[in-house]
Amino acid sequence: MAGRLSPIKIRALLIGPAAAVIGIFVVIPLLLMAWISIQGRDYSGGVIWGELSGEAYLRMIFERELDDSLSVNLNYIMIVLRSVWLSLLTTVISLLVGFPTALFMATRTPKWKAILVFMVTLPFWTNLLVRNYAWILLLRDHGAINGTLSWLGIISEPLPLLHTQLAVAIGLTYSFLPFMVLPIYASLEKMDLRLVESAFDLYATRFMTLRRIIIPLAIPGIVAGCILVFVPSLGAYVTPELLGGGKTLMIGNLIGLQFGAARNWPFGAALGILLLALVMISLTFYALKLKKTGGDTK
């Protein structure tokens, strides 16, 4: 039929707008960041275009002395490792809290399920900055936690809770816990409870039922939740800035510092590439785990 579009052209028209948006707002900025990371540094801010240099990547491990020699400096690597550690800690705590919460939600009546899902998503109605300031009020020396412990006679001096790794871990867990609860709940919500009843009829203990039936059914949600918590925790900026108080820098804060006060755009871009690499490793693990479980996310 004259004028009829071929399947290839129809596919191109359908995919074209999405591909254009991804290319303009994702691919081009990433390529620009990668290009900036290998440019020379302009000490007044910005980059020296055309002056190719690997100095930004060397700076992650080495420090250039006055005589132009290189010496090992692991300060930045320690910040990266701290970021990974706090992100992993946040993920583990979120899983330990989120799994029983999701299981409880999934075994309620439909009316209570709707109410509990609403309560889990309720913190998203409040700005993240406000929620972190609320934790400052709780964790500071004369805040609610220290005040309560002092009133009960448990402590005589305020505990140093604020501006510590513990404070950052608490803030990150509070911020991203719903991202753990909701995927696990989605996996368990459609669970056939007759499987659990059959396990009890066959004299399985609660622990055996949990290990052999419930957890395997929740694996897709657990993996998705871990990724959804780990990835944003790794690049978090607001929570470490407020609750860490500059003493607990994470890679997101370090990147912001390089583009701001330090005026080292190539190094900031190189750190951004490193953060992207860490995220891609996490997503690759998720893809492999999803393939291993048969791709069933329902």
pLDDT digits (tens, 9 = 90+) for 151-209: 988 888 889 999 999 999 999 999 999 999 999 999 998 888 888 888 888 888 888 98
Type of residue numbered 184 = I
How many Å apart are CA 47 and CA 41, to the nearest integer?
A: 5
Contacts of residue 135, Cβ cutoff 8 Å, sequence gap at least 6: 167, 170, 171, 174, 242, 243
Residue position matching structure tokens 């004259």: 2
Domains and CATH numbers, the chain: 7-72 (no CATH), 76-292 (1.10.3720.10)
How many Å apart are CA 288 and CA 292, to the nearest integer?
A: 6
Cβ–Cβ contacts within 10 Å for residue 280, how many?
11
Mean predicted confidence (pLDDT) in 247-269: 90
Question: Mean pLDDT of all residues in the chain?
Answer: 88
Amino acid 290: pLDDT = 67
pLDDT digits (tens, 9 = 90+) for 46-80: 888 888 888 899 989 988 887 778 888 888 999 99
Tell me the HSE value of 265 on the side-chain side, using a 13 A CA sphere: 16
Tell me the HSE value of 118 on the side-chain side, using a 13 A CA sphere: 6
Amino acid 3: pLDDT = 59
How many Å apart are CA 98 and CA 12, to the nearest integer?
A: 42
Tell me the HSE value of 71 on the side-chain side, using a 13 A CA sphere: 6
List, in sequence order, every residue forming a beta bridge with 71; answer none if it has no partner: 63
Amino acid 205: pLDDT = 84
pLDDT at 248 over 90: no
pLDDT at 145 over 80: yes
How many Å apart are CA 142 and CA 158, to the nearest integer?
A: 7
User: Encoding tokens for residue 59?
Assistant: 């700076």
CB 48 within 8 A of CB 274: no
